[in-house]
Amino acid sequence: MKEKIEALMAEVAALKANTRQDVEDARIRLLGKKGSITELFDEFRGVAPEMKREFGAKLNVLKNAAADRIAQLREEVENKAVSSAGGAANDLTMPGTPGELGSRHPVSIVRQEIVDIFRKFGYDVAEGPEIEDDWHVFEALNFPPEHPAREMQDTFFVSDGELVSEENGVKTYRNPLLLRTHTSSVQVRTMEKMPLPIRVICPGRVFRNEAISARAHCIFHQVEGLYIDEGVTFADMKQAILLFAREMFGPETQIRMRPSYFPFTEPSAEVDVSCNICGGKGCNICKGTGWLEILGCGMVDPNVLEASGIDSKKYSGFAFGMGIERIAMLKWQVKDLRNYFENDLRFLREFETVL
């Protein structure tokens, strides 16, 4: 017994391990159910009583030494695995690398602000497709067939539409698909399907076949508004737009309306707000006039109501449309529209603190 204990003591002292598996093998070999140290404990039962004390103590020392050595080896092997996989990088107590936080795009910030203001006035948000048909973008909005906005120079066409006739090889199509040139198309979709009265705000992306410059882009964003009920008047429209302007540009803001023309409204107006930079005195932003143009509006033309199946004798309403980029440019005095589309981080980071 004595020799066996000594031999095992030497074996424990010389134990080596490279992998977790090595450590586990050693544990099973020595301390497992059939391990050599466990077997010695079985043998110990047969030891003469006068020797029990001495051997018992030795056996316990051996067992503890084996358990300690195995624990030590396990730790070494674990540490090796950690350092070979990148060392300190795997130290779970190290603080993490913070991910870079993005911020909201100025166009999103202004769109949300406009939507929030009209929500407070009881407007719902409506959306429509960006690829539209001629009916919703032009026809139902009272655009005469020869109206210049339908021309190739303005509109991106997607497909010819329905083939209606073919005579002597000449094909005639109707209702072509196109990229919507304004969000007024969502007015039509809303009037076609929503019950009256209607009070909606429709934000969205629009497309025009224009050369890109500081003041024009082929993609931009608009917000359309529409209010239809019995007895809606021009005065209601003026009040809604004044309240909006004051929420958006500050409580001192004044508005003025100039007569204008849109095929889908009669009468129509363009709305200016008093310049929020100089307070109306005249500066280089408002070009000395004290006023900034922000939107187009008008009373929905009876033809437009009827085209969507609404009785124009019973119902009336107003509509308005504004460019989101334009409002954002006025709000932050951005001079070049292209900034909004280039995703230059130096520009976008200027809006990090705006919520």
What is the contact mask toward ligand DAH in residues 169 to 188, using x (rule: CB under 6 A)? -------------x-x----
Q: What share of the chain is helix, strand, coil (3-state, %, to 5)?
A: 40, 20, 35
Q: Tell me how far apart the alpha carbons of residues 232 and 330 are, in angstroms, rounded to a whole number.
A: 30
Please measure the distance between the N-terminal and C-terminal CA atoms of the chain and give it in whole angstroms. Answer: 80
**Helix, strand or coil for residue 218?**
coil
Binder of ligand DAH out of 143, 244, 262, 340 (CB under 6 A):
262
Q: Nearest approach, Cβ of 200 to ligand DAH (angstroms)? A: 11
Binding part of the chain for ligand DAH, among 32-40, 67-75, 306-314, 318-326 by CB under 6 A, reads: 318-326
Binder of ligand DAH out of 138, 207, 227, 320 (CB under 6 A):
320
Binder of ligand DAH out of 245, 297, 330, 337 (CB under 6 A):
297
321 lines the binding site for ligand DAH (CB under 6 A): yes
Binding part of the chain for ligand DAH, among 14-22, 212-220, 277-285, 293-301 by CB under 6 A, reads: 293-301
Binder of ligand DAH out of 257, 319, 330, 337 (CB under 6 A):
319
298 lines the binding site for ligand DAH (CB under 6 A): yes
Task: Select from 246, 289, 254 the least CA-distant residue to 273.
Answer: 254
Dump strand ranges (E) for the chain.
Answer: 124-125, 131-133, 157-159, 162-167, 170-174, 177-179, 198-207, 219-229, 255-262, 265-274, 291-300, 316-323
- Please, which residue, 40 or 301, has the CB nearer to ligand DAH? 301
Cβ-contact 64, 72 below 8 angstroms: no
Residue 197 DSSP class: S
* Degrees to nearest 5, angle at CA 130 with 129 and 136: 65
What is the contact mask toward ligand DAH in residues 182 to 221, using x (rule: CB under 6 A)? x-x-------------------------------------
Give the interface with ligand DAH as residue ranges (CB under 6 A): 182, 184, 224, 262, 265, 296-298, 319-321
